[in-house]
Amino acid sequence: MNTFSIELSNNVYVNHVGLAYIAKFLNSKTFKFRIDRVSKIKKISGVIPDYDIIKTFIALITLGKTDFGDVEQYRKDKFFKKLLNLQSVPSEGTLRQRFETYDQDMWTVIRQINAELLAAYSSDQAIEINGKPYMKLDSDVTPLDNSGSNKEGVERTYKHFDGFAPMMSYYGRSGFMVNNELRPGKAHSNCPGTVEYFAQTIELAKRISDLPWFALCDSGNDDRKLVLQFLEKGVEFIIKLNFRKEPLEKYINYAKLNGTAIVLREGCTKYFCNWSRDAGDKSIPLSLIVIEKTMEKNGQLCLEPQHHVEAFWNSLNLDPEMVLELYHNHGTMEQYHSEFKSDLDLEKLPSGKFSSNYSIMLVGMLAFNLLRITGNALLGTKQVPGKRGNRLRLRTVMLNVIYMAGQYIDHARQNILKIYNGYQWTPAFEMIM
């Protein structure tokens, strides 16, 4: 059995070299200017500016550190301090107190900074529908489990645990986050304020790209006001119809009389067609898919025909099969939710105050996108080890690149990072730096 002896060194070794790539964005003069404009902290000796507070916490989130107390690990970290151009690393108490002071003005600026950041990374994010490029906007609620806590806003969610129920919106092939909004746990998809949320999200989206936008929403957002808003703002959409207590017979009969029939197997037939429904003074195409089953797979006849009915508002009047494919791709958003909640460890929010957690959700959005940008840049080098898809999961970026080890040398006004040449991810990281 091999044994190793331990030797102490005065050299500075760090285990978060990859943070150097994130810091290039966080140290942007534009970022600083935008935060300083709404900051309530003036230039007072000894007071850490809000810009330093916010970029410190964003850096912590990209390391998977989301508790205010986690900052204490970096108070004496020369590399962390130098990397973020900090006069001093804020304490746990300072981070907590400052986040409790941020309000609507700061939230607006963070959202705008995020949109401006993403505008530089939208050129390859479009999808093609009938030969025309669109930016796809996916939105949905995803509950955050904060059971056992007494945090402001924690209530029973539709998932039957206590927590929050934020709305989140993503765009493009890679799943960049356009916007999010923290909501109390009992809030549903179409709670008061939802139309305003989408108005805000559309405004941010149009800052990101001039291409036409295409929104996909679940049945929880089947709302006449939202449909009319999309039409007014020139956003195409697919929204799953919420039948509520409406009888399904008319949909079944219409599809069987007017639709295209495909026999899936003996005793099971699929009908699909386009219809139309009124929303205000406009008639909007409605894609209708009905599956009728008269026999089980084992040959057992059903006493009565069984029907599965799905319908979608479909502003582009697309073929129902295409509508179904686009809607099923909408499910990829669950992976983005998982990355935000699990990879960044933002499921359990750290503050007891709702407004503070609201701020953390927004800086978490910036951290999410910075890691996504890092992942895309790494893929672009063609040097990423192993077989990879169209995007890298945030956890993959964090474990392999952000937490890359190296030696930090600060000598003769030079800052040098020495990285092991034999590490598989070194070539890709060197290329993006």
Predicted confidence (pLDDT) at residue 334 exceeds the cutoff of 80: yes
User: What is the C-alpha separation between 153 and 162, in angstroms, rounded?
Assistant: 10
Residue 155 within any structural domain of the chain: no
User: What is the C-alpha separation between 153 and 185, in angstroms, rounded?
Assistant: 7
pLDDT of residue 413: 77
pTM of the model: 0.94
pLDDT of residue 245: 86
Domain that holds residue 303: 241-314
Q: What is the pLDDT of residues 22-59, one digit of tens each?
A: 999 999 999 999 999 999 886 666 789 999 999 999 99
Residue 159 within any structural domain of the chain: no
Phi and psi at 316, nearest 5°, equal -90, 0
User: What is the C-alpha separation between 418 and 423, in angstroms, rounded?
Assistant: 12
Residue 86 within any structural domain of the chain: yes
Query: Which residues, in sequence order, are CB contacts of 346 under 8 Å at separation 6+?
Result: 61, 66, 144, 340, 360, 361, 364
- CB-based contact 137:122 (threshold 8 Å): no
Are 84 and 26 members of one domain? Answer: yes
Are 93 and 30 members of one domain? Answer: yes
Query: Which residues, in sequence order, are CB contacts of 146 under 8 Å at separation 6+?
Result: 154, 162, 163, 164, 347, 348, 349
Residue 23 within any structural domain of the chain: yes
Are 24 and 98 members of one domain? Answer: yes
Q: Is 25 exposed, middle or buried (0-12, 13-18, 19+ CB in 10 A)?
A: middle
Q: What is the pLDDT of residues 127-150, one digit of tens each?
A: 999 999 999 999 999 999 999 999
Structural domain ending residue among the three candidates 254, 284, 314: 314
Predicted confidence (pLDDT) at residue 281 exceeds the cutoff of 80: no
Are 310 and 246 members of one domain? Answer: yes
Predicted confidence (pLDDT) at residue 73 exceeds the cutoff of 80: yes
Are 305 and 362 members of one domain? Answer: no
Of 312 and 282, the structure prediction assigns the larger pLDDT to 312
DSSP string, 71-89: GGGGTT-HHHHHHTT-SSP
Are 310 and 372 members of one domain? Answer: no
Q: What is the pLDDT of residues 200-238, one digit of tens each?
A: 999 999 999 999 999 999 999 999 899 999 999 999 999
- CB-based contact 217:139 (threshold 8 Å): yes
DSSP string, 149-191: ---TT-EE-TTSSEEE--EEEEETTTTEEEEEE--BTT--TT-
Tally of domains in the chain? 2
Structural domain ending residue among the three candidates 314, 346, 378: 314
User: What is the C-alpha separation between 358 and 36, in angstroms, rounded?
Assistant: 20
Coil, strand or helix at 349: coil
Are 46 and 101 members of one domain? Answer: yes
Residue 50 within any structural domain of the chain: yes
Are 34 and 97 members of one domain? Answer: yes
Residue 27 within any structural domain of the chain: yes
Are 305 and 387 members of one domain? Answer: no
Residue 39 within any structural domain of the chain: yes
Q: What single DSSP character describes residue 68?
A: G
Are 308 and 377 members of one domain? Answer: no
Q: Which is nearest to 271 in space by CA: 308, 239, 300?
A: 308
- CB-based contact 145:346 (threshold 8 Å): no
- CB-based contact 34:117 (threshold 8 Å): no
Q: Which band of pLDDT confidence, cut at 50, 70 and 90, is reported for residue 1?
A: low
Q: What is the mean pLDDT of the chain?
A: 92
Residue 410 within any structural domain of the chain: yes
Find the range with the poorest average confidence among 105-109, 141-145, 324-328, 350-354.
324-328
145 beta partners:
163
Are 310 and 361 members of one domain? Answer: no
Are 367 and 420 members of one domain? Answer: yes
Q: Which is nearest to 369 in space by CA: 91, 161, 194, 120?
A: 120
